[in-house]
Amino acid sequence: MKIHILGICGTFMGGIALIARALGHEVSGSDANVYPPM
């Protein structure tokens, strides 16, 4: 499944993206700003 996540650079949404990718999904995302640790 292709998943696009808004706010992907946040700690929670970034974690969701990593889990989705580990499960084999194709993940993309966007965010207004990028903060560490992303």
Q: What is the pLDDT of residues 1-38, one digit of tens each?
A: 999 999 999 889 999 999 999 999 999 999 998 877 66
- Residue with token string 């999904």: 25
Domains in the chain, ordered, with CATH? 1-33 (3.40.50.720)
Which two three-digit tokens encode residue 13?
A: 């949404």
Rounded to whole angstroms, the Cα distance separating 10 from 6 reads 9
| Rg, Å, the chain Cα set | 9
User: Is 16 within 8 Å of 5 (Cβ atoms)?
Assistant: yes
pLDDT for residue 3: 98
Rounded to whole angstroms, the Cα distance separating 1 from 10 reads 22
pLDDT for residue 38: 67
pLDDT for residue 36: 73
pLDDT for residue 30: 95
- Residue with token string 């969701």: 16
pLDDT for residue 1: 97
